[in-house]
Amino acid sequence: MIEVYTDAASKGNPGPSAIGFFIKTQKQKFHESSYIGVYSNHEAEFIAVIKSLKYCQNHFSNEIISIRSDSKVVVDTVDKNHTKNKQFVPYLNEINLISQTFPYVFIKWIPEKQNYQADQLARVALLNHEKHLR
């Protein structure tokens, strides 16, 4: 089983946003972060899950994926496979589509303090983008 921790950072809502994810396998750890553009914080959280799933698709296609996020909105939406928010529907659809390529994908809410590494990755990507603009 592959453990995937995802998070996003936004400056403003919507505003400049970045994502980070941290992946743990039995033997290795991987991480990635990037600036993604201007989004709401919730949208950025969805994008973090999507980007992490795409990474897993390329590197761990036959594994069970356990996603952990501190975003209740994302976790509830994916877990229930439903949202009333029309902005989130394309993100949910993409997550569902990518998830079908794995034997099993589940998502779990975790407190912010347990998501420190993904949080730091997203914050650093956002900071680096801001520094680059100066």
**Which of the following CATH numbers is that of domain 2-133: 3.40.47.10, 3.30.420.10, 3.90.1150.10, 3.40.50.300?**
3.30.420.10
Domain extent listing, the chain: 2-133
Q: What is the 3-state secondary structure (H, E, C) of the chain?
A: CEEEEEEEEECCCCEEEEEEEEEECCCCEEEEEEEEEEECHHHHHHHHHHHHHHHHHHHCCCCEEEEEECCHHHHHHHHHCCCCCCCCHHHHHHHHHHHCCCCEEEEEECCHHHHHHHHHHHHHHHHHHHHHHC
Q: Looking at the whole model, is its pTM more than 0.85?
A: yes
pLDDT tens by residue, 43-95: 999 999 999 999 999 999 899 999 999 999 999 999 999 999 999 999 999 99
